[in-house]
Amino acid sequence: MTMVVLSRRSLLAASGSALATGVLATSVSGLLLPARADGLAPTDSMSGGANNYRKGAPVVERIGKGGFWMSGTVRRAGDGAPLAGQRIQIWAHTVEGQEHEPQSHGATLTDKDGKFRLEMPQIIPIFGQPHGHLAYDSGDFKTVFLRPVMRSAKETSLEAHFVLQSA
Amino acid sequence: MILIWVALALAVCVPIAAAAGSEQLAWRGPVYILAGFAGIIALGLVLIQPLLIGGYLPGFSAYRGRRAHHWIGGALALAIVIHVAGLWITSPPDMIDALTFSSPTPFSPFGVIAMWAIFTVALLALLRRRLGLRPRTWRFVHIPLAIVIVAGSVVHCLLIEGTMETISKAALCALILGVTVKAMVDLQVWRKRRTLRGESVARQ
């Protein structure tokens, strides 16, 4: 008869390795999905990402008086090719307005490297977290809503990255 | 004696005053500000409840402590209604996410669970006589819900980045946990068939 002795240390070690295996398995299966065997998985919309979204915010040079930078990249799912000229809509609760107000919304286009960068007013914590909202909603690819959170309310920039799949 | 009252006033008022000085307020509308402070006041009321029922507030007899516990409980439910309604008006989609447990913010479910626990206790307290709940049955229902309310409220507010100042918030939360544990230990709430302080008074 085999006796299994579970000390706290061995239990911790076992659960730790189980956790690591789980994480590893998840990330590996994410990479090995048959439909996109060679590639980059599309970004899923984040929960709450579409909150206070307004359709058709105009492309602007800058939202309000600026002072804060929202930047990121837009790439194609699968091969990861940068997508130029894509319209990304950005909004947040800032020092110049609440999330739902029109002056808090604006859009920008990606450059030839699929990068975008838009100056906007400083984001401040709203509903318990300093966060921004971004949307790809132009229709050529599937709509994606992102809701990145700042590590600290004092930060003056925030990034969000899109990997889009065909609509 | 008076020291306890001074400590209580400080524990509740310092966080409120600190939040009133927050620069965040400049960028919030009046309804959002009201909703936020209703939440902070609710947290203060959560501290008063175990103090009252544990009999730690000088000047309150067991009977008066219990009466005050009822009224403060009602005020707590009202504060939560104002908190939730104000946040709903401020940003309906964020509040709907929170109430349906689909919010991206980790603190939301703790707040919502504590809210339902508060409403349940308040409703049962109102109907207690009509339902004919015996003291034992009442305790069996109320004590677990009280634990949920305290734990949920504390986690909820600690995880929020808002107008509350960090140290005064953490101190208030620590006091709430400490007083709740002390009250539960002193009243030996886990024991069955024990006449609690004041019960005989209530029956007279």
Q: Mean of the pLDDT values across residues B129-148?
A: 93
User: Which neighbouring-strand residues pair with A69?
Assistant: A119, A157
B91 to A126: CB separation less than 8 angstroms, yes or no: yes
Q: What is the mean pLDDT of residues B87-113?
A: 96
Partners of residue A123 in chain B, C-beta under 8 Å? none
Contact flag B93-A50 (C-beta cutoff 8 Å):
yes
First-residue to last-residue Cα distance in chain B: 29
Cβ contacts of A51 on chain B, cutoff 8 Å:
91, 93-94, 97
Mean pLDDT taken over chain A = 84
Per DSSP, the residues of A66-128 read --EEEEEEEEETBT--B-TT-EEEEEE-BTTB-TTSGGGEEEEE--TTSEEEEEEPPB--BTT
Provide, rounded to the nearest whole percent, the portion of chain B with pLDDT above 90.
85
Pair of tokens at residue B58: 């000088």
What local confidence, expressed as pLDDT, does residue A21 receive? 45
- Is 80 exceeded by the pLDDT of residue A71? yes
Residue of A67, A39, A73 whose CA lies nearest to A148: A73
Query: Of B8-12, B52-56, B79-83, B187-191, where does mean pLDDT reach its minimum?
Result: B187-191
Q: Residue B190's pLDDT is what?
A: 73
> What is the pLDDT averaged over residues A114-121?
97
For the record, the structure tokens of A78 come out as 């699968």
Please tell me the predicted confidence (pLDDT) of residue A38: 64
pLDDT above 80 for B82:
yes
Q: Are A128 and B104 within 8 A, CB to CB?
A: no
C-alpha B204/C-alpha B202 separation (Å) is 6
What is the pLDDT, as a whole number, of residue B50? 96
What confidence tens digit (pLDDT) does each residue in A2-16 have? 444 445 444 444 444
CB contact under 8 A, A127 and B24: no
Cβ-based contacts of A50 with chain B (< 8 Å) = 93
User: What DSSP character marks residue B57?
Assistant: S
For B91, which of A99, A129, A149 is closest by C-beta distance? A99
Residue A64 near chain B (CB below 8 Å): no
CA distances (Å), A21 to each of A8, A18, A26, A27, B88, in order? 20, 5, 8, 10, 42
DSSP for A21-48, written as a single string? HHHHHHHHHHH--GGGTTSBPPPPPPTT
Q: Is B94 at the interface with chain A, CB within 8 A?
A: yes
Distance CA A138, CA B118 (A): 45
Instruction: Kindly indicate the confidence band of residue A63, based on its pLDDT and cuts at 50, 70 and 90.
Output: very high
Question: Using a CB-CB distance cutoff of 8 angstroms, which residues of chain A are in contact with residue B43?
Answer: none
Measure in Å the smallest separation between the Cα of B7 and chain A Cα atoms: 28
Residues A19-36 have pLDDT tens digits of 444 444 444 444 444 554
A44: chain B residues, CB-CB within 8 Å? none
CB spacing of A51 vs B161 below 8 angstroms: no
What is the chain B residue with the closest CA to A50?
B93
Nearest to B102 among A47, A98, A129 (CB): A47
Mean pLDDT of A58-83: 96
Interface test with A, best of B91, B96, B107, B112 (most A CBs within 10 A): B91
CA dihedral B145, B146, B149, B153 (to 10 degrees): -160
Best interface-test mutation with B: which of A127, A129, A150 has the largest number of B CBs within 10 A?
A127
Using a CB-CB cut-off of 8 Å, the residues of chain A touching B90 are: 98
Is A125 close to B90, i.e. CB distance below 8 A?
A: no
Mean pLDDT of chain B: 92
Residue of B nearest to A126 (CA): B162
Tell if the CB–CB gap between B103 and A48 is shorter than 8 Å.
yes
Task: Tell me A57's DSSP state.
Answer: P
Residue pLDDT, tens place only, B152-203: 999 999 999 999 999 999 999 999 999 999 999 998 877 765 555 544 444 4
- Out of A57-61, B81-85, B199-203, which region has the weakest mean confidence (pLDDT)? B199-203
